[in-house]
Chain A
C-alpha cells in the first residue's frame, strides 16, 4: 500500500454497525468468486497503461473521490439540497470504461452519476454548480445530483428512475446501426436495477437486433439496504445474460487494469460485430446509499474489508511499482486535485442562482421531436438532419400558456 492509502479512506461517513450474519457471509463469498479474469479465446484486452495514461487515470479517480468528499461536506453544511448519492469506491469502473470510449461514443447511466461525468472529462465546475443549484450548473440548476448531462461529449446522463434508461440505451444502439457508424453505447446501472422489467426488455432486443451496446451492472452488493441475495434469484448477475444469448462475464471493479481489459473486448465486439455484451462489475460503495442512510444493513468490518481493496490505492501501487510516479508525486497530484475541487466550490458559490425564466425553457423544442440542445450540440445529429428542417423555438410565455 502506498502511504496515503489511509488518507484515502472515508473521511466523514461512519459506516454501519451491524449486519445480519447471512448477508455478511454471502457478500464475502461473492467477492471471492471474482478471481482474476481468465481472458476469453478472442480476448485481446486493453493496451497496457503507459505512464501518461496511468497518471491521468490516477488523477481522475482522485478527482472523483475528492469532489464527492467535498460535496458530502457541503451537503452537511446545507449548501446542497435534495438527495446526494456518492460513487466513492466505484471510481475504477467509470474511469476504466471511459478511458476506452472514443470521442463520438455515448454513455447513459443511473442516478449515482457524478463519477460518469467526471470520468468522461466534463469540467467539474458546472457539475459542482449543478449540485449547488446554480445557473452555471450543467443542467442549469434544474436537475441536481441525479441529472448530470453533457450531450456534446456523448453524456446522456444520469436518471433518477431506476432501470428506466436501460431500454433507452437499446434505442441508441439501434440508431447507431441505422447510421452505419462504428460508435457504441455504454449503459451503466446498479444491481438493483436488473430486477426491473426494463432491464430484461432491453437485453432481449439488444441481442435480438445485434445492437452495439455494452451493458454494465455495477454490482456493489446492495440496492439501498437490500443485498443482492435478498433481491435477485440469480446472484452471479452476469449469468442473466445467458437468458438473452448475450456474451456475459464478471469483472473485478476494484482494479482499473482489469476493468480496461474486460471492456476493451466488449467494445471491440460492439464496434466490429455489432453485438452487445453484459458485464457484471463487482464493486462496493463505501458510503451510505444517500446522505440519510443509517447503514444498519451492513457491518463496519465489511466496509473496511472492501476499503482495503481500494481502487485508487491499487492504481497508486501500480504507478509506484512501474516507477511511473514517486510517493511524493502522488501526494502532489492529490494536493492539486484538492485545489481544483476548492475552485469548483468557489466557482459555484460565486455563480448566480438561476433566473425564473430558466424554468420555462427546454420544455418544448425547436422541432417537435428533438431536444434543441442535443440538436445544436451533437454533431452526429446535425449531420443526420435534413437542411430544410427549420426549427421553431416557442417563446416561454407561449408554452407556459399563462400571463
Chain B
C-alpha cells in the first residue's frame, strides 16, 4: 500500500536507480527532504551530485534543468509549491516549450510540485495553475488522481522526450492509499481513464476532483442517476477520443475542476464537445468550478471556494432533470 506521495517518491527513486541521467534539483530537496518530504532519504541514497539543493531561484533551477536536458540528462525540477512556477515562467513557456520547434532540441524535463487547495494555504499556496500552461504548445501537463497513476505517470513523464509539468495535488499526498504495482510500469501520457462507469451523465474531471466527483456520483446513484466519471489524467495533450466517447454515450456533460472557471480547462473541454458531439447532447454542457477569485485562507471561505461532492451532486441533479 502506497500513499499518493509515496508513489511519486517510489517512481523517482526507482528511475534514479535505473537511469543515471536522472537527477533532482530544487529548494531543500536534499538535506530537508523536500518541503513535503517527497524526496526524503534521497540525498543519503543518491548523493549531492544527483540531489541538488538549489538557492531560492526558480528561474535558475528550471533553466539549469533545461540546459542539462539539452545534453542528454533527465532532470526533475521540484517547486516547493506549484504557485512559485510563475517565477520561472519564461524558462518554461519560451525556452522549454519552443526549443524543439525552433531548432529541434528536445527538452526532456519534469517540472513537478504540489498544487491545489484544501489545506488553508491561502492565495499563494493553493493555486491550480494548469490553465496558464494549457495555451502553450510544446508543453505536456499531467495531473494524477491516484497513487497508481502518480507512479505510472511520473515514470512516463521522466522518460518523455518533451517537457512535462507534473501537478501533484497536495491534499491527496497523504490522504490516498492504495495497492500500487511494484516495479516498472508506465501510464501513457495523453490517455484518460474511466474512473467510474455510468450511463446517464458524464463527469469529465481530473486531479482531486475525481474523488469529489465519484463521491457525488455515489450520492445520486441512490436517486437513480447513473454517472460516469472520466479522469483525464493528462490535460495537454487532451484525450479527445475518450471525452467524446463518454459524452456520446450519455448525452450529458458535466465538467468539474479546481482551477477557477473563466479560462479554465473546462472551456476547452466544452469546446471539444460542442465542436464534435453537439448532436449527441441532450442538455447544455455544465461546469462546476470555483468562481473567479483567488483562493481565500479562512476555512469557511475556502470551503465556499472549492467544489465538493454536495455541489457536484446538485449540478448532477439539475442536469439530470433538464
Residues in chain A within 8 A of chain B (CB atoms): 20, 81-83, 133-134, 137, 139, 141-147, 159-164, 192-193, 195-197, 223-226, 230-232, 296-297, 353-354, 356, 358-360, 363, 399-402
- CB pair A82–B119 under 8 Å, yes or no, is yes
Residues of B within 8 Å of A160, CB to CB, are 83, 122-125
Residues of B within 8 Å of A163, CB to CB, are 56, 87
Residues of A within 8 Å of B125, CB to CB, are 82-83, 146, 160
Assembled-state Cα–Cα distance A358/B299 (Å)? 13
- CB pair A141–B298 under 8 Å, yes or no, is yes
Chain B contact-residue range equals 35 or more
- CB pair A82–B56 under 8 Å, yes or no, is no
Assembled-state Cα–Cα distance A84/B59 (Å)? 26
Q: Which of B58, B59, B124, B298 contacts A146 (CB 8 A)?
A: B124
- CB pair B56–A359 under 8 Å, yes or no, is no
B178 CB within 8 Å of chain A = no
Residues of A within 8 Å of B261, CB to CB, are 401-402
Interchain nearest-CB distance for B13 vs A (Å): 20
- 26 intermolecular pairs with C-beta atoms under 8 Å apart: A81-B297, A81-B299, A82-B120, A133-B300, A133-B301, A137-B298, A141-B296, A142-B122, A142-B123, A144-B120, A160-B123, A160-B124, A161-B87, A164-B87, A192-B56, A223-B55, A224-B32, A225-B28, A226-B53, A230-B53, A296-B31, A297-B32, A359-B305, A363-B292, A401-B261, A401-B262
Chain A-chain B contacts (Cβ-Cβ < 8 Å), number = 137
Residues of B within 8 Å of A81, CB to CB, are 119-120, 297, 299
Which residues from 18 to 57 on chain B have a C-beta closer than 8 Å to any C-beta of chain A? 27-28, 31-32, 35, 53, 55-57
Assembled-state Cα–Cα distance A147/B261 (Å)? 24
Identify the closest chain B residue to A400 (Cβ): B291
Residues of B within 8 Å of A356, CB to CB, are 300-301, 304
Residues of A within 8 Å of B56, CB to CB, are 162-163, 192-193, 195-196, 223, 231
Identify the closest chain A residue to B35 (Cβ): A224
Interchain nearest-CB distance for B43 vs A (Å): 11
Given contacts A161-B84, A226-B32, contact A143 B122 (CB under 8 A): yes
DSSP class of B's interface residues: helix, strand, loop or mixed? loop
- CB pair B299–A133 under 8 Å, yes or no, is yes
Which residues from 271 to 315 on chain B have a C-beta closer than 8 Å to any C-beta of chain A? 291-294, 296-301, 304-305
Identify the closest chain B residue to A403 (Cβ): B291
Interchain nearest-CB distance for A194 vs B (Å): 9
Q: Which of B32, B84, B301 contacts A141 (CB 8 A)?
A: B301
Given contacts A197-B59, A297-B32, A401-B262, contact A133 B124 (CB under 8 A): no
- CB pair A400–B292 under 8 Å, yes or no, is yes
- CB pair A147–B123 under 8 Å, yes or no, is yes
B121 CB within 8 Å of chain A = yes
Residues of A within 8 Å of B57, CB to CB, are 195-197
Assembled-state Cα–Cα distance A147/B27 (Å)? 22
- CB pair A360–B293 under 8 Å, yes or no, is yes
Residues of A within 8 Å of B120, CB to CB, are 81-82, 133, 144
Which residues from 58 to 100 on chain B have a C-beta closer than 8 Å to any C-beta of chain A? 58-60, 83-84, 86-87
Q: Which of A82, A225, A232, A401 contacts B292 (CB 8 A)?
A: A401
Q: Which of A83, A143, A353, A358 contacts B123 (CB 8 A)?
A: A143
Assembled-state Cα–Cα distance A83/B124 (Å)? 11
Given contacts A192-B56, A226-B53, A359-B304, contact A402 B297 (CB under 8 A): no
Assembled-state Cα–Cα distance A133/B295 (Å)? 13
Residues of A within 8 Å of B123, CB to CB, are 142-143, 147, 160
- CB pair B31–A297 under 8 Å, yes or no, is yes
Cβ contacts B132-156/A at 8 Å (1 or 0 each):
0000000000000000000000000
